[in-house]
Amino acid sequence: MKVVAQNKKARFDFEIIDTLEAGIVLSGQEVKSCRAGHIHLSGSYVSFRGGTPVLKNASIAPYRFATVSGEYDEKQDRELLIKKSELARLTAIEQEKGMTIIPLEVRAGRFIKLFLGIGRGRKKLDKRQRIRDREVERRVRRGEDS
């Protein structure tokens, strides 16, 4: 499966505890657009509407060669397809304080799959510490003295 889109900011902003795979309900032109890599996950998240998981705020550009009939909304809510056992676990996690479900990446093979991360938000201090650690690691790799 080819990685079509990644949400790199999610791994920086959240401490990812667990991951899982979900299908996504798309129209024909959205599938072609996803395969072409015209999907953006930054700022997107998963919430529940009537017991069904929904991907919110993900942007899928209209397919260039499709004739769009009517109004097309790039950031419309899209349903996710998840097994019942995982769905029960996700609903319990969403009720937990401080926990959130974030889309991490989209892969395209025979089907379009969305990989979700279950995470807890990081504090600003933790983010700064990660940046410092990364800089130190780069210097060590290059062989520089601090």
Domains along the chain with CATH numbers? 2-142 (2.40.280.10)
Query: Which pLDDT does position 112 carry in this prediction?
Result: 92
Three-class SS of residue 35?
Answer: helix
The gap from C-alpha 82 to its chain's centroid, in whole angstroms, comes to 15
> pTM of the entire structure?
0.79
Q: How confident is the model at residue 122 (pLDDT cuts 50, 70, 90)?
A: confident
Q: Are 34 and 69 in contact (CB under 8 A)?
A: no
Q: Are 1 and 107 in contact (CB under 8 A)?
A: yes
User: CA–CA separation, 106 vs 83, rounded Å?
Assistant: 18
Segment 74-108, tens digit of pLDDT: 888 999 999 998 898 888 888 888 888 999 999 99
